[in-house]
Amino acid sequence: MFDLEPERVTAWIKSNGYSKVAVQLPEGLKVRSSEISDTLRSAGAIPILIGRPCYGACDYYDGYGEFADALIHYGHSAIPSMGEDPNVLFVEARAEVGADALRNHLDGLPSKIGVLASVQYIGLIDAVTEILEESERTAFVSPGDSRIKYPGQVLGCNCSAAENIRDCVDAFLFLGEGDFHPLAAAFGTDIPLFVYNPVTGSMRSVENTRERILRKRFASITIASEAESFTVIVCSKKGQKRIAEAERISALLEKAGKKVYTVVLEEITPEALSHYRTDAFVNTACPRISMDESSRFVKPILTVTEAEIVAGIRKWEDYEFDSIRN
Ligand code: SF4
């Protein structure tokens, strides 16, 4: 169902004459590593599978040069602001589906709609725009900032493509699966958001999920407000490293009377944090860790914007999703 583009991969390897090629896959595509390795072998290259976890283009493996001449990173689009390496190829693994079943779900949609998608479904934006406009609705699609490759694309850490049109639309329609990407846009804009899943042909609102997550986040902020000490986490992955944000939030927490420490980590897990005995943590890396995985952690692990509430410079009612802008 996901297009791994074997012809483009083969042509890229052959035209550059690579003899060893490293392969990086997100967890969901690792089951296809044998098939991908066979494609590389047929193209004349020795495949080297990089087994470390991979969640986004933000953690593409720039140490591939120790093992190979080039890297193929599957499952994500490049992040333009991270710069280009000619020896790295991104294969986005676009879903091979259509959007016709959306016609069954138009009744609940308002007249002005912003269209958003995760990269796997970004190729459906034109078809969805056409379907919406056939129904006499107006569709809006905006480019994002320099972290975003395609108009309408949303990352879990960046919904600038939605923010840019929040004043023109009555609702957003997100094309994709799961909660994390659409929630980033729903929190980032405070506008109703519907998720159309092109694989199942189903439509849903994220409002209940949004409310449930907000309640959990407010509980974490309340507990962290009583904390005397914080560890601010900086991630060493190239596209999640926010040293200036870590310094800024550390200074704000210190000003609010908290003791603050800093730790640099590659993977942010409960085991990695168990060594640091502060009352709470601030995560400056991927916001998914705080929003989606907080139940795995024993102590509160706040996002930067949540820590601003604890530091007293942001009001509860101005709650915002944390965004990575560069
Ligand atoms: Fe995705 Fe998180 Fe990386 Fe952003 S920081 S690109 S949401 S993995």
- Under 8 Å between Cβ of 232 and 213: no
51-107 tens-digit pLDDT: 998 999 999 999 999 999 999 999 999 999 999 999 999 999 999 999 999 999 999
> 86 alpha carbon to ligand 1 midpoint, in Å?
22
Residue 311, both tokens = 């530091």
Distance CA 149, CA 79 (A): 6
pLDDT at 193: 95
Atom of ligand 1 nearest to the CA of 288: 2
* Strand boundaries in 27-119, DSSP class E: 46-50, 70-74, 88-91, 94-95, 112-117
> 93 alpha carbon to ligand 1 midpoint, in Å?
17
pLDDT at 4: 97
Atom of ligand 1 nearest to the CA of 285: 5
12-51 tens-digit pLDDT: 999 999 999 999 999 999 999 999 999 999 999 999 999 9
Q: For the CA atoms of the chain, what is the radius of gyration?
A: 21
Ligand 1: lining residues by beta carbon, under 6 Å: 55-56, 58, 155-157, 239-240, 286, 288, 324
The interaxial angle of helices 207-225 and 180-189, nearest 10 deg, is: 80
Check residue 47 and give left, alpha or beta (phi > 0: left; psi -120 to 50: alpha): beta
Atom 2 of ligand 1, residue of closest alpha carbon: 286
> 286 alpha carbon to ligand 1 midpoint, in Å?
5
Non-local (6+) Cβ contacts of 37 within 8 A are 23, 47, 49
Atom 5 of ligand 1, residue of closest alpha carbon: 286
CA angle 125, 292, 176 (to 5 degrees): 15
- Under 8 Å between Cβ of 28 and 54: no
- Is pTM beyond 0.85 here? yes
- How many other CB atoms are there within 10 angstroms of residue 19's CB atom? 11
How buried is residue 307: exposed, middle or buried, by Cβ count under 10 Å (0-12/13-18/19+)? buried
Distance CA 183, CA 200 (A): 19
> 138 alpha carbon to ligand 1 midpoint, in Å?
30
Residue 314, both tokens = 């942001």
Task: Spell out the alpha helix ranges (H) of the chain.
Answer: 6-16, 33-42, 125-134, 160-163, 180-189, 207-225, 243-255, 270-273, 288-291, 304-310
- The whole-angstrom distance between residue 195's C-alpha and the CA centroid of its chain comes to 16
Atom of ligand 1 nearest to the CA of 155: 7
> 17 alpha carbon to ligand 1 midpoint, in Å?
32
Mean pLDDT, the chain cut into blocks of 10 residues (326 residues total): 96 98 96 97 98 93 96 98 96 97 95 98 98 97 97 96 96 93 87 95 93 94 98 96 97 98 96 96 95 90 97 93 86
pLDDT at 294: 86
pLDDT at 17: 98
pLDDT at 204: 94
pLDDT at 254: 98
Stated as kind and residue range, the H or E segment containing 301 is: strand 301-302
